[in-house]
A = this chain, B = another copy of it.
Amino acid sequence: VSTADEIRDLLFAYCWHLDRGEYDDVRELFVDPSAAGDLDETFVRPIGAPTTKHVCSNAIITLADSGTEASVRSYFLAQQQLEDFPLQPVAAGRYHDTVVLVGGSWRFVERRVLRDFIGDTSRYLRSEIDA
């Protein structure tokens, strides 16, 4: 398992927990949990889990010379389906991350979410969010 694999695991853990509404676990992926943003204010709380699926792909990892910090750009594609909401893509965009190795684990220092494409987000994002 390479350093790149470990960093990708961090990206995937974020999606995994987000898709299941496990926001505490999402926050634990950050050096400073508050840097995760206010997830309850951003996302419509899923009923049951998972109700979205964030495909994270195309991760380009730039490792610092120290080997303990990296910047990462990746794509996400969020799919959603609910009983009264047919399977469809609801958003797509980019994650711009700074990650760091602390205590043997990679963590997010910062994650910028760039929502380039927005579909029907009525069941995904809270309306007050400027997507």
A99 part of interface (Cβ distance < 8 Å): no
Which residues of B lie under 8 Å from residue A3 when comparing CB positions?
1
- Report Cα–Cα, A43/B39, bound state, in Å: 37
A-side interface residues, number (CB < 8 Å): 39
A40 part of interface (Cβ distance < 8 Å): no
A95 part of interface (Cβ distance < 8 Å): no
- Report Cα–Cα, A57/B9, bound state, in Å: 11
Q: Mark A1-15, 1 if CB is under 8 A from B, else 0.
A: 111110001001101
- Report Cα–Cα, A120/B36, bound state, in Å: 35
Is there an interface contact between B91 and A87, defined as CB atoms closer than 8 Å? yes
Which residues of B lie under 8 Å from residue A77 when comparing CB positions?
53, 55, 77, 79
Is there an interface contact between A53 and B87, defined as CB atoms closer than 8 Å? no
Minimum distance in angstroms from A80 CB to a CB of chain B? 8
Q: Which residues of A contact B (CB under 8 A)?
A: 1-5, 9, 12-13, 15-16, 50, 53-61, 63, 73, 75, 77, 79-81, 86-93, 116-119
